[in-house]
Chain A
Amino acid sequence: MSKVRLLVGTRKGAFILASDGKREQWDVSGPFFAGWEIYHLKGSAVDPNRLYASQSTGWHGQLIQRSDDGGKTWQPVDNKFVYDGVAGTHQWYDGTPHPWEFKRVWHLEPSLNDPDTVYAGVEDAALFRSKDAGQSWQEISGLRKHGSGPHWQPGAGGMCLHTVILDPANPGRIFIAISSAGAFRTDDGGETWRPINRGLKSAHIPDPEAEVGHCVHHIAMHPSRPDVLFMQKHWDVMRSDNAGDSWEEVSGNLPTDFGFAIDVHAHQPETIYVVPIKSDSEHYPPDGKLRVFRSRTGGNEWEALSNGLPQRDCYVNVLRDAMAVDSLDTCGIYFGTTGGQVYASSDAGDHWAPIVRDLPAVLSVEVQTLS
């Protein structure tokens, strides 16, 4: 019988939530790495017992942990992230040059075909890769050096490379996103990169349609259609049907088109999910009602999903990596909140229930569907 394992990163440790295919009863284990910020954990698609975790604190900096037994035991691997060559400068918040400085790993993306290869998206924005299961890291410096790097600026959360998407149909193609530089794509395994931001409009930059400078919050892709991308931008939900060459807005009837998380149904590539958030400064759901919005038409037409979610006095946020879907027949969808709840729906969003209510603030949620 199939099982589901959720990997939950929080402000104060990691948790693993496990259930059978019914997704009604859950075993909670953790905290792992108690007291440390766990920005992200993710498992290998080819070896589900191989997990990687990004662990950090202000005191001791960055660690990377690896598990080879599905999270029962962990071992620290290499934590040396050194930019290739002269690091140079990017723009600071005030527009002055600021040296590139490594701060933390936001996202770990294991290879789709090699459990020993894993990508790390870091702050200050760069992409690193390990080919030896985390024992050493090398920067894929073509991204940072492609030309626009000195003009990149941090978003409020830092200048982070937070999204890494590997194209299952094209091994050389990788999509990444940076706050607040935008989205980029390589078609040659990372040697060369180009911005893919045409169609984005951002009022907070001098030229709203500039090639770079857009605060992309997250991007999602369905593996069966790797040329179709869905983006939650700082404002606006966007869609591309040509691998990011151009984008169109699909915010439609959303109550607010600001948000962080976005994901795609496991079996219906035109069914997508977002969690609208009030902004620019509040960063909680409109009207105190926690609602996921689903579009079955690839955007523009959205329906609110609220059954089982708090509909009053709810002022949490759902961060960019804190939503995920399983691949069981009735697609499960999960998200975590800054209030420490992890909600699950085993029927594609029609009904929700909390798995846990009182974790530390949730930074990330990933799902493994295990046979």
Chain B
Amino acid sequence: MIRVLLPAHLRTLAQVSGEVKVTVEGPATQRSVLDALEASYPMLRGTIRDHVTQQRRPFLRFFACAEDLSHEPPDAPLPDAVVTEAEPFLVIAAVAGG
């Protein structure tokens, strides 16, 4: 299982509170975690990654273990601490907006 912390708007949309846990098939990567997240919560499709390009939406970042993973390749392995559930995978919304 992978612990995922979503920004507030997406927790509301997915009707969850706090962290969610998703089961990943194969290696835990950004892509596999987001695939599993969208499979469990279809309403999140298009809100984190573009529907077609699968690119991260520009006002979002991916953090874990106090590191910004946003520019890592989507198939790069996530840190061991995320895989072992010691740390969550964070989807962060930019501090922006009026």
Contact = CB atoms under 8 A, between A and B. Distances in A.
Interface size class of B (residues with CB under 8 A): 10 to 19
Pick the 6 closest A-B CB pairs, nearest first.
A60-B47, A76-B43, A59-B59, A59-B93, A80-B51, A79-B46
Contacts of A61: 46-47, 50, 57
B10 interface: yes
A60 B96 contact: no
Interface residues on A, range: 10 to 19
Contacts of B59: 58-59
Contacts of B7: 59
The SS class assigned to the B binding surface is loop
Contacts, number: 44
Contacts of A82: 51-52
Contacts of B43: 63, 76
B97 A59 contact: yes
Contact of A60 (B9, B51, B52): B9
B37 to A, nearest CB: 14
Interface in A38-65: 57-63
A79 B97 contact: no
A35 interface: yes
B13 interface: yes
B52 A63 contact: no
Contacts of A76: 13, 43
Interface in A65-92: 76, 79-80, 82
A59 B57 contact: yes
A80 B46 contact: yes
Interface in B31-89: 43, 45-48, 50-52, 57, 59-60
Given A35-B9, A36-B9, A82-B51, A60 B45 contact: no
Contacts of A35: 9
A57 B7 CA distance: 13
